[in-house]
Amino acid sequence: MIELLSGNEAIARGAYEAGVKMACGYPGTPSTEILENVVHFKDVIYCQWAPNEKVAFEVAAGASIAGARSIVTMKHVGLNVAADPLMTLAYTGIKGGFVAIVADDPGMHSSQNEQDTRHFARFAKVPLFEPADSQEAKDFIRFAIEISEQFAIPAILRSNTRVSHSRTLVTLGNRTEGAPVGFEKNPQRFVPIPAHARLMRVALEEKLARMRDLACTHPANRIEWRDRSLGIITHSIAYQYVRETWPEASVLKLGWSWPFPDNLIEQFTAGVKRVLVVEELEDILEEHTRALGICCDGKNFIPNIGELSTPRLQASRAKMEGREIARPVVPVPQSKDLPGRPPVLCPGCPHRGVFHALGKYDVIVTGDIGCYSLGALAPLSRMDTILCMGGGISMAHGMVKAGEPRKVVGIVGDSTFFHSGITGLLNIAYNKGTAVLIVVDNRTTAMTGHQDNPGSGATLMGDPTIAVNIEDIGRACGIKRVHTINPYEVDKVVKLLGEELNAGEPSLIISRYACPLDIKQPVGKRRIVKEDLCKKCKLCLKLGCPAMEGRDGQAPRINETLCAGCGLCHQVCKFAAIAIAEEVK
Amino acid sequence: MNSTNGTTTSVVLAGVGGQGILLASEIVARAAMIAGYQVKTNEVHGMAQRGGSVIAQIRYGKEVFSPLVAEGTARVFGALERVEGIRFAHYLAPDGLAVVSSQAIIPVTVSSGAAVYPMDAHDRLKAIFSRLIYVDAAIIASKIGNIRASNVVILGALSTGLNLPIEAWHEAVAQSVPPKHKDLNLRAFEEGRSQA
């Protein structure tokens, strides 16, 4: 049977077919939909969201060492969090096939950096698979599971935005079960105390040498002989752009790209006159090809920043051939004077009330990653730093202790609080900080599409469970001032914030209201502008609500299909010019 | 330029997050699949979906490599919002067909006074595209019974610029929408097609 599947759907299908029994992860674009699709196979695959990627990785590692085929999913920056268990699992090795599925985001469509996960494969010394479409995404999961078991080593499957979110045709197959689960005690394998780890270190190099040989004949790697005047070494989605840009050239397509299949690279390059390495992001293949003593072109023609594409490679080709880049025969982009349409906090978003209140004070706001990152944009402009998940809490403390003269407020979401905010909170209590911490708790992991988390009361597999109480965690960490607010009560929020900023001790504020998109309910009754009362002061427009449409020289208008009835505009209006729509008519 | 683009048909859809771009993209892809082609699509997820500009790309043919449409190569271009029709106009091939909804969705940048929504969008669209169908898709869809079917109205008009059989479109619409909305969407498709 053939189906049109996204790369992420295909990876989930691949896990099913490869006999995976455990799937674990933390949401992150572009990887999120993998587990959301694995859940369709929950009869045979236990699957769950973990509080963060390190926990997810360790859960999968435990399952694998007990004998279950396991996958763990995350976005590229998630592997930074999970790097600790990765580096040592490479030493101890695994039992049931183990694949860390990591989705990179070249071009930073939804990310704070564009790090290249291939470095991690080499860093940790584990095999790396890189599919170029959905069929390969599915097939390579099986390859990765097989290689992982054969060499008792964790594998990485690296996807990216275009592989994960493109849909291509996939031929479905059947499920193959792995060996039965049953942990076998073996301290020399699973306990890397120095005496054991030194032996593991040697064994790891031996595994790599054997994998290097096998990769030369493995079906994930292939040579496509065409015209031999140019041979291109490429990988992942870049292969697709290469085939369109140089349809006549010979290609070495690396699907199992690390350990480098040296003999295959030498065989290929010996068969062509000129060698070009086309890789997205870093020059990893190019550097190694040169290290083999092979003369090649690469980043001297191919961009090393952002995504590749057929037009970008066509420009590279023109440069290589010393031609002018053919002028596009298309109209130039007509968008120079168009109004921008950046992503914004949704109408009725509970975060808006918090940012509005923060706007009343001269404070520094250190934030992190989630929908509320959008609070950094105009007109709210009320977040001053973003570094990483949970970072806002710890950085707030650092600023305070550095002697920053203004008050500092750290912000995290509920999911990022569970991810890595708790340790930061503990640090503030322990080290006598004074920052104000706000958890904007909308009861879900909203930005990635509403995944459950430890506070939301349900598991990925759909079972009801505990809903962890953030206030209790705060108190358990040693925070004495803990307050819960409704972010739509503007005056109360502003007042509380004023009190806490001057408390002289750490304060935890939980702003709690469920994401209206998630619970699929408006916040309240739709509002309307009474034009006769409106003084056109534009205060309501400073909320940055997409439902509030400013009009030149006229009273603003509230878009009736967008308004979620949160009433923030109603509360900030000083002239009673905003009212509940049904009460006006 | 050496390229196999000539054998691949490219479609670009644009609009505002939440307008039903992904469903429209799925319908085009299914129609091409039903017609026996290899298909690839690409869509934007994550941050860009929160009310921002979004585009979806569909490519079909005997053999398709890149899932991305190169600028200036789309055979048809559909926009569910008129300013987005201008913003992504450069994806269309010079002789391609553009279908643009007259609907206007005011961005926050305009509401906050940082930018101006162009009042001459229709004139500008006429100046950009040699083949333009400007459709009151939201009004048509509302008359049929649901403004959310605007996306399928646009597809109906767009289908006249592609070489896929009408049966494939009908089947693709029927497969892609919930059964209870099937008749409404098929009507939306036909209404859109009659605008061409």
Please spell the DSSP secondary structure of A291-353, one letter per residue.
Answer: HTT---B-TTTS--SS---HHHHHHHHHHHTTPPPPPP-SPPP--TTSPP----PPTT-THHH
Q: Which of A118, A97, A115, A94 is nearest to A106 (CA)?
A: A115
Are the Cβ atoms of B72 and A241 closer than 8 angstroms? no
Is the pLDDT score of B6 beyond 60?
no
More confident residue, B102 or B45: B102
The backbone torsions φ and ψ at residue A362, rounded to the nearest 5 degrees and listed phi first, read -85, 80
Predicted confidence at residue A328, as pLDDT, reads: 56
Q: Which residues pair with A509 in a beta bridge?
A: A438, A483
Q: Rounded to an integer, what is the distance from CA A54 to the centroid of its chain?
A: 14
Element at A407 (helix H, strand E): strand A407-413
- Are A361 and A407 in contact by the 8 Å Cβ rule? The answer is yes
Same domain, A125 and A184: yes
Same domain, A111 and A232: no
Within 169-188 of A, beta carbons closer than 8 Å to B belong to 169
Mean pLDDT, all residues of chain A: 96
Predicted confidence at residue A331, as pLDDT, reads: 53
Residue B2 — pLDDT band, cuts 50, 70, 90?
very low
Closest CA–CA distance from residue B83 to any residue of chain A (Å):
7
Query: Strands A527-529, A554-558: parallel, antiparallel or unpaired by DSSP?
Result: unpaired
Nearest CB to B90; choose among A165, A332, A552: A332
Structure tokens at B84: 């987005």
Choose the mutation target among A5, A9, A226, A338 for the interface with B, i.e. most B CBs under 10 Å: A338
Closest CA–CA distance from residue B58 to any residue of chain A (Å):
9
Three-class HEC string of A112-140: CCCCCCHHHHHHHCCCEECCCCHHHHHHH
Same domain, A304 and A376: no
Q: Chain A within 8 Å of B40 (Cβ-Cβ)?
A: yes
Residue B50 — pLDDT band, cuts 50, 70, 90?
low
Supply the range of the domain harboring residue A381: 351-519
Are the Cβ atoms of A328 and B71 closer than 8 angstroms? yes
Apex A203 CA angle, A202 and A209, nearest 5: 95
Q: Chain A within 8 Å of B36 (Cβ-Cβ)?
A: no
Predicted confidence at residue B5, as pLDDT, reads: 45
Chain A's closest residue to B6, CA to CA, is A244
Q: Chain A within 8 Å of B41 (Cβ-Cβ)?
A: yes
How far apart, in Å, do the first and last CA atoms of chain A sit? 57
- Are B66 and B59 in contact by the 8 Å Cβ rule? The answer is yes
Chain A's closest residue to B37, CA to CA, is A169
> What percentage of chain A has pLDDT greater than the value 90?
94
CATH code, A93: 3.40.50.970
CATH no. of B5-193: 3.40.920.10
Predicted confidence at residue B46, as pLDDT, reads: 57
With H, G, I as helix, E, B as strand and everything else as coil, classify residue A181: coil
Parse chain B into domains and list their residue ranges.
5-193
CA A507/CA A526 separation, integer angstroms: 34
How do residues A514-547 score in pLDDT, each as one tens digit?
Answer: 999 999 999 999 999 999 999 999 999 999 998 9
Helices (H), A502-574: 516-519, 568-572
> What percentage of chain A has pLDDT greater than the value 70?
98
What's the average model confidence in pLDDT over A164-169?
97
Residues of chain B in contact with residue A337, where contact means CB-CB under 8 angstroms, are 118
Same domain, A276 and A198: no
What's the average model confidence in pLDDT over A470-493?
98
Predicted confidence at residue B48, as pLDDT, reads: 54
What's the average model confidence in pLDDT over A266-295?
98
Q: Chain B within 8 Å of A295 (Cβ-Cβ)?
A: no
In a domain, residue A333? The reply is no
Task: Tell which of A270, A297, A320 closes a domain.
Answer: A320
More confident residue, B196 or A568: A568
Q: Which of A135, A313, A322, A129 is nearest to A232 (CA)?
A: A313
Nearest CB to A167; choose among B29, B53, B113: B29
Count CB-CB contacts under 10 A for residue A273.
11
Count CB-CB contacts under 10 A for residue B61.
18
CATH code, A542: 3.30.70.20
Are the Cβ atoms of A544 and B108 closer than 8 angstroms? yes
Residues of chain A in contact with residue B68, where contact means CB-CB under 8 angstroms, are 162, 309-310
Residue A421 — pLDDT band, cuts 50, 70, 90?
very high
- Are A53 and A25 in contact by the 8 Å Cβ rule? The answer is yes
Are the Cβ atoms of A169 and B128 closer than 8 angstroms? no
Same domain, A8 and A144: yes
Element at A401 (helix H, strand E): helix A391-402
In a domain, residue A334? The reply is no
Is the pLDDT score of B4 beyond 60?
no
Place of tokens 């964790």: A154
Q: Chain A within 8 Å of B20 (Cβ-Cβ)?
A: no
What's the average model confidence in pLDDT over A263-269?
98
Q: CB under 8 Å to A368, separation ≥6 — which residues?
A: A386, A387, A388, A389, A390, A391, A392, A411, A412, A413, A416, A421
Same domain, A365 and A462: yes
How many domains are there within chain A?
4
> Is the previous residue joined to A30 through a cis bond, with omega within 30 degrees of 0?
yes
Q: Chain B within 8 Å of A349 (Cβ-Cβ)?
A: no
Q: Rounded to an integer, what is the distance from CA A6 to the centroid of its chain?
A: 17
Predicted confidence at residue A456, as pLDDT, reads: 95
What's the average model confidence in pLDDT over B38-67?
86
The backbone torsions φ and ψ at residue B16, rounded to the nearest 5 degrees and listed phi first, read -110, 140
Predicted confidence at residue B49, as pLDDT, reads: 59
In a domain, residue A329? The reply is no
Task: Tell which of A215, A250, A284 closes a domain.
Answer: A215
In a domain, residue A559? The reply is yes
Residues of chain B in contact with residue A341, where contact means CB-CB under 8 angstroms, are 16, 51-53, 83-84, 87, 107, 109
Predicted confidence at residue A146, as pLDDT, reads: 98
Q: Which of A32, A27, A24, A52 is nearest to A420 (CA)?
A: A52
Same domain, A175 and A272: no
Q: Chain B within 8 Å of A299 (Cβ-Cβ)?
A: no
Residues of chain A in contact with residue B17, where contact means CB-CB under 8 angstroms, are 343
Same domain, A131 and A20: yes
Nearest CB to A341; choose among B16, B42, B147: B16
Closest CA–CA distance from residue B1 to any residue of chain A (Å):
8
- Are A417 and A389 in contact by the 8 Å Cβ rule? The answer is no
Are the Cβ atoms of A330 and B118 closer than 8 angstroms? no
Query: Strands A155-160, A98-104: parallel, antiparallel or unpaired by DSSP?
Result: parallel
ipTM entry: 0.92
Query: Strands A249-254, A227-235: parallel, antiparallel or unpaired by DSSP?
Result: parallel
Q: Chain B within 8 Å of A378 (Cβ-Cβ)?
A: yes
Lowest model confidence (mean pLDDT) among A23-37, A122-136, B116-130: B116-130
Q: DSSP letter string over B29-95? A: HHHHHHTT-EEEEEE--GGGGTTSEEEEEEEEESS---SSPPTT-EEEEEESSHHHHHHTGGGEEEE
Same domain, A419 and A436: yes
Residue A188 — pLDDT band, cuts 50, 70, 90?
very high
- Are B18 and B51 in contact by the 8 Å Cβ rule? The answer is yes
Residues, chain A: 585
Q: CB under 8 Å to A451, separation ≥6 — which residues?
A: A27, A32, A36, A49, A415, A444, A445, A460
Closest CA–CA distance from residue A377 to any residue of chain B (Å):
10
Same domain, A148 and A84: yes
Same domain, A427 and A288: no
Predicted confidence at residue B113, as pLDDT, reads: 79
With H, G, I as helix, E, B as strand and everything else as coil, classify residue A547: coil
How do residues A295-346 score in pLDDT, each as one tens digit?
Answer: 999 999 999 999 999 999 999 999 999 998 766 555 556 667 899 888 889 9
Q: Which residues pair with A160 in a beta bridge?
A: A104
Q: Chain B within 8 Å of A246 (Cβ-Cβ)?
A: yes
Same domain, A362 and A275: no
Are the Cβ atoms of A333 and B89 closer than 8 angstroms? yes
